Amino acid sequence: MSSWFGEGTTATCPYRHGARSIDRRQDPAVLGSANRLVCARPRRGRGVSPIWTHWATSSQLNSFRLPLHDAGTGLSGLPLGRVVRGTQFVFDPFDAYRAGIVTSPNVAVIGSIGAGKSTVVKMMVARGLERNRSAVILDPKGEYGMLAQARSGVVVRLGTSSWWNPFVESEGDNLNFLTALISTARGEHLSDIERATLEQAWRSGACSHSSRPMESLWRTCSGVDDAMAATVRRFVMGDLAGLIDGPGPALTNTAALVVLDMSQWWLSESLAVAALVGWNMASHRLADPTVPGYLVIDEAWALLQNEFATTWLQGAWKLARARGIANVAVVHRLLDADGAGELGSASRSRAVGLIRDCSTYFLFCHAEGDLGAVKETIGMSELEAQYLVALPRGSALVRYGTSSSVVHLEPTLEDLPLVDSDGAMR
């Protein structure tokens, strides 16, 4: 049993010290039989205070189905809320990684509409900014402007107020991203001939050195491959104009918080392209590994459902630790990933793999019909499933590393104006 939510057996007696779940079968620090009063010797670790927790018999724990006391993560800092039957809940993906609580800084926030997903994201980012961290938020619905205003950030409207030049890497990296971008825009893989044509046009037009890279590519492709030219034209004067090509200088910004407002593409077929460009910009903005940063992808289904985007993203996601980036994917439900392909397909495996590469999950209330996808993707005990469908608004089942806590969010007075998503309903 990896946490106090797991299904009990006669050989397992769960106790948690801080953020660590301890299995009596594997840890000599735990003594006694399954029905005797037992405890775990406290250990000291980076960022985790030595706290004695969960004194009870295993039969009592199985009966209560809740720990007598949950010490949370044991991390220090401004809390996100309070643990049910426990203390304040403090969580920061970078601190948790340094303390050995999680194996990756990547976070998934999953739950129904209005359950509290954007609230916990805003609180987490706000607390990180107070510690001189940086953040880029891909905001397809225009919900994070107030956070940017309150935290001296900037709101960038790609396609309206500015454009981003992603072609600042090596030619190989530029072409890989360009291929992913064109494939996403077309909704189909490029053939070997089409890719060769694209590469030749890119190099012969010296597009990476042009002040208008996509305009140069469009003119080079015209008359050589009309279908390719038609796709590239969309980035110059079509529905994707202003994303990665435009008049005037390209965007440069060094603000600690950048919100990419992509609401003009919300619910359009071009949202995946806009999100992919936003991801590229965010990765460059957060490139300094000495300054930890959050890369928040709200409505992440736009990328998870696109096999061309997930192919490119898979490598970037796995480099989170090396780059000092915490990827935070926000989705309504894990069924959102079903659009990535059939069960067992490579595209679906990549989408599910991105979620599985998270070490922390904030799971808000789910409909009972959505539990199957959760169990398939990240695994879940029957007891966890019971909690998940009964969680009230503003409460989450938080799984971090091998541990779990039920947390009720408690925004501070400073948080309240930032997290209010219902202002228009009053």
Q: Which candidate, 238, 240, 335, places its Cα nearest to that of 278?
A: 240
Residues 263 and 312 in one domain: yes
Residues 110 and 217 in one domain: no
Is residue 110 within 8 A of residue 362, CB to CB? The reply is: yes
* 35 has pLDDT over 70: no
Residues 100 and 231 in one domain: no
Residues 255 and 275 in one domain: yes
Give me the number of domains the chain comprises: 2
Residue 23 lies in a domain: no
CA distance 118 to 139: 11
CA distance 200 to 64: 67
Q: Which of 237, 260, 285 is the last residue of a domain?
A: 237
Most trustworthy range by pLDDT among 30-34, 165-169, 357-361: 357-361
Residue 259 lies in a domain: yes
Is residue 302 within 8 A of residue 260, CB to CB? The reply is: no
Q: Which candidate, 23, 119, 6, 14, places its Cα nearest to that of 60?
A: 14
Residues 326 and 202 in one domain: no
DSSP letter at 66 equals S
Confidence of residue 323 (pLDDT cuts 50, 70, 90): confident
Residues 97 and 223 in one domain: no
Please name the helix (run of DSSP H) or strand (run of DSSP E) that holds residue 124, with its range, or none.
Answer: helix 117-129
Q: Range of 181's domain?
A: 171-237
Instruction: Please give the pLDDT value at position 346.
Output: 59
Coil/strand/helix, residue 417: helix
| Per-chain mean pLDDT for the chain | 79
Residues 204 and 295 in one domain: no
Residue 44 lies in a domain: no
In single-letter form, the type of residue at position 404 comes to S
Higher local confidence (pLDDT), 96 or 310: 96
Tokens found for residue 155: 């709101």
CA distance 251 to 248: 9
Please state which of the ranges 144-148, 246-250, 290-294, 357-361 shows the lowest mean pLDDT: 246-250
- Residue 69 CB neighbour total at 10 angstroms: 17
Residue 374 lies in a domain: yes
Q: Is 318 exposed, middle or buried (0-12, 13-18, 19+ CB in 10 A)?
A: middle
- pLDDT tens for 400-417 read 998 889 999 999 999 998
* 7 has pLDDT over 70: no
In single-letter form, the type of residue at position 97 comes to Y
Instruction: Please give the pLDDT value at position 339.
Output: 47
Residue 52 lies in a domain: no
Q: Which of 199, 215, 237 is the last residue of a domain?
A: 237
Residues 96 and 223 in one domain: no
Q: Which of 209, 237, 265 is the last residue of a domain?
A: 237
Residues 136 and 232 in one domain: no
Residues 144 and 233 in one domain: no
Instruction: Please give the pLDDT value at position 150.
Output: 92
CA distance 397 to 386: 11
Residues 377 and 302 in one domain: yes
Residues 143 and 202 in one domain: no
Residue 54 lies in a domain: no
CATH code assigned at 283: 3.40.50.300
Kind of pairing between the strands at 81-83 and 88-89:
antiparallel
